[in-house]
Structure 1
Amino acid sequence: MRKILRKILTAFVGALLIIAFAVPTAIAASSKDGNGTGEVISLQQAVDMAIKNDETLKSALAEIDRTRALRENAQENMSFTPVEGGYNGAYGPQIEASWLSLLGADLNYRASQRTYQANLDTLALKVCKAYWDVQVAREKVALQEKVMQQALLNLQNARAAVQAGTAAASTLTAAESAWKQAEDSLTAAKHTLDSAYTTFNNLVGLDAGARPLLQEEPAYSPLDIANLEYEVQRVLENDPNVWKAQQNIDVKRWSATMMYSSGSYTPYDARQAELQQAEYTLETVKEATALKTRSLYYQIKSLEENYSAAQAALSAAQEKLRVEQAKAQVGMNTKADVIAAEVDVAKAQEALDELVRNHAYLKLAFEKPWAMS
């Protein structure tokens, strides 16, 4: 069983990393900026490490063994297989109760396998998000470092201007306030990076203080589907929550025909009500799943609509920086003008990269929405 599940896992992870994004080869290099100084960890390696480290998966595997044993025991208690429909009370209390016990045990066993796979899906998606969250946080630190550099230069210029009598004291006050704000923002960004690393390290089993290099970034590619309703149906057919609700109806349908299925007499109206409740539950689960799938689709499309604008903003910022650098070479502007343009490029690049990562994450979630549970 464990070997079979491992094969399922390998197939899933491979599909996960191929379907939603193209992963470039990791660069084995060290960083000197303090944002990552340890070993290079690829996204695939991170998923593998998380699987070995996750206690929930280990418990889910044990649950498969437990429910299999219970099912085998329930099977041994059955002398023959009843026929569904039209035999209300014909088999007697013991046979009816044993049969429903077997159906329940069989459902629990099959559900435990589905639960294990769903846990794999959820864990893989968590690792992807945690991996990219570290990259987002690292870029924000780099951006705030550039903003801090800009604020410090502006503060130095303001001090010089006030001393020379070419600027009012209020100019220096404003520059000092901006520098302090930049300093606080940088400190906050570093804390966010530490928090992102803590989350990632906890998932993959590394020490809290580890700072591995997480360099694989998602490549942007629009979501390409021919029909949204077809995708909604695909998800409904594969969602483990929908499956469990449907299987429960099958058990309740048997129960509705057996007055002693619970081990004691159960009135007909009560058994029919239980069947109706199971049917209502299925419809509720299906509606929620379909709603989540459509919501993910529109979130993805919204990001795609903003992608071109983000690219254009980056291109404009880069062109402005090129102009400012050219002016600086001939003495037509100041260092502050160049740094301001560099900050704009850093902001535009960070915004574009975060959009791409969010897009990649949502594409993965769209493939298996239940993994977000």
Structure 2
Amino acid sequence: MNNSFFYDTIKKIESKIDVIKASSMCFVSEDNFILHNFRDELINSVSAFNKLDTLIIKPSGGNIKIEQVRDAEEFLMYKPNYAKVKVVFFEDMESLNIEAANAALKLIEEPPQYALVFGTTTRWNYLLPTLKSRFIRYDLSIPSTLIENVNSKYEEIAIYLNFFRHYDLGVSLFLNDENTDVSSIKEIVERIVSFSAKNVDELLNNFKLPLDLSENKLKFALSYYKLWDILINSNDKEFFYLIKNIAQIKNDVENLSFLRNISALGAILLRDSMVFLNSSKWKYFWNNSLVYFFGLNEHAVNLEQIKDTVSYLNRMSTMRLANFNFEMEIFTHFLRIKRCFK
């Protein structure tokens, strides 16, 4: 537990259990990985809690429904059997549909004296004002020690790795893990960075890797940005030929997951392009390597096109429905981003 990035926060909550009982707290972060890991550590580490007296409510079919709120109410009707405090944990509070949100208001405002109601969200501003007013908000940030550790461990190649704290914190934790081989990661990064148009097939093969492994997520993300390095410098004929090849991986990837991932990565690319327009300070960039890797400093940008495309990418990265044409979305994705650069 002492090695936990959330140790101080959890200890602070534990020390105030008697004060915060019968209240509700919502943990807010830009990264669901942070929230999920924090939830698990909180439940497992606080001595006043017990899994047998904890109910975790997760979205079902994209929403938290009123029936699930009723389950939480029933769960809290009785005092804890194994713990000092009974806990209800709502994941992704923004997923409460209107009916469920209204039903949850009283539960969140007045939990029983022996209970705590927790919630998590990456989209605080999407919650109903009536919900927000009933929660104690607690912001969870990315631990600075994690960033410092990765920078120290990987030295000159860390510039290619730090954006994972915004894209997928799980990869950052994998990179920080003492069992992760630095030389192997360095070899992967240097190999992908050195690719040219002749290596497009290898880049596409990295898109087909199963993303349940952090190392594969690293290869996927770096290959996406390297592909843009090639695409942005290609003529129109070469560009459309390459996009056609990308669309042909349809049968080798989970389509919705693939589109969500490239949308999230594309949004980071365009976000940093906007930052580049307004600042030269490295601390404001999410992916410092894009200045060199992609060559942001070598391209003029269309600000209005960027704003419109970022909005589109954000919608795609949170898309839940699978009713789409994969090939068409691939062409749309790359064409939209291409038009952002002159």
Q: State the structure with bigger RCO (CA 8 A, min sep 6), 1 or 2.
A: 1
Q: TM (normalized to structure 1)?
A: 0.20
Query: Which structure has more helix as a fraction of its residues?
Result: 1
**Pair member with larger Rg:** 1
Please state which structure has a larger fraction of its residues in strand.
Answer: 2
